[in-house]
Amino acid sequence: MNNTITDTNFNFPGQLSIYKGKVREVYTLENDIMVMIATDRLSAFDVVMPKGIPYKGQILNQIATKMMADTADIVPNWLLATPDPNVAIGHACEPFKVEMVIRGYMSGHAAREYKAGKRMICGVALPEGLIENDKFPEPIITPATKAEMGDHDEDISREDILKKGIVSAEDYNILEQYTKALFQRGTEIAEKRGLILVDTKYEFGKTKDGKIVLIDEIHTPDSSRYFYLEGYKERQQKGESQKQLSKEFVRQWLISNDFQGLEGQKVPVMSDDYITTVSDRYIELYENIVGEQFHKADITAIQERIEANILAYLDK
């Protein structure tokens, strides 16, 4: 398990700052350039697990950059280059302080809230009579305030976002429009792979010239939930659990070990065997979502490899 990248401390030419999120580390350089490194850290219930997962960063980065390429015709994004399997380089942006969560089905957090008796999530009214994993009549947007590393994201309504001045009405309308367009395209891509895009989140930022662009990850198993399309209706009719393609299996393992990120709860120890299982599941996720075989990068000296590839790109 030593061949993972869980922390970086690079010093690139023209480096101005480092931001460390739950999974990604962002280096801001001169000339409005950002270097985003996808680490092998694993986050669940907004808590970063103590050990890294081999190849996870590569998997997330390669899914995200491919999906950005596949949606660039409908929504502009920040990406310029991917000089390393774990690295994306693009335009520096000022991120909006909200995550645009969009849900096509009542699953995960929404289902837990519904079971607890709530019929309003983020200012969106939910119909009575739904069962877990039912499809909503139309996708719903349930934004969340963006948390710092280790903190919990919190649900917030459109009305509160505007009232608190977190995002202007003009900009928020664009975020909503982009979110719906991306979810529609993501749904179409998923269907071609025999999958259902259940829910996901998008993050946006503003470039120095005021352009709103898509940033961070998109349609990855960390930011999205997928079901297998085949058998979905039959499983719903029988009241059976859906076959999922997401990191929900990690959340369920944590729940079974008495951890949901609540105060006073201790993160259970992940054995090396379990970590290998998680890595294998992430590779399976990649191959199903992308529709291509996953090629493992050389991780014998992962820090050195990443640094060398970034410096080679910057030298150009």
Span 142-172, pLDDT tens digits: 999 976 544 557 899 999 999 999 999 999 9
C-alpha angle 174/197/206, rounded to 5°?
A: 25
In a domain, 240, yes or no: yes
In this structure, of 37-46, 98-107, 123-132, 188-197, the range with the lowest mean pLDDT score is 37-46
In a domain, 233, yes or no: yes
For residue 103, the domain's CATH number is 3.30.470.20
How many residues are given for the chain? Answer: 316
Section 1-7 average pLDDT: 82
Other beta carbons within 10 Å of 307: 18
In a domain, 298, yes or no: no
Q: How far apart are CA 187 and CA 191, in angstroms?
A: 6
In this structure, of 98-102, 132-136, 274-278, the range with the lowest mean pLDDT score is 274-278
C-alpha angle 128/129/135, rounded to 5°?
A: 95
Q: What is the pTM of this model?
A: 0.88
In a domain, 198, yes or no: yes
Give me the sign of the Cα torsion angle 197, 245, 60, 294: negative
For the chain, the domain total comes to 1
pLDDT of residue 2: 61
In a domain, 21, yes or no: no
Burial 107-131 (b: 16+ CB within 10 A, else e): bbbbbebbeeeeeebbbbebeeebe
**C-alpha dihedral (252, 258, 263, 268), degrees to nearest 10:** -90
Residues 6+ apart with CB under 8 A from 21: 149
In a domain, 173, yes or no: yes
Give residue 125's domain range: 95-245
Ranges assigned E (strand) in 45-119: 47-48, 79-84, 87-91, 93-95, 98-105
Task: Return the closest-CA partner of residue 12 out of 32, 31, 28, 36.
Answer: 28
In a domain, 186, yes or no: yes
In a domain, 207, yes or no: yes
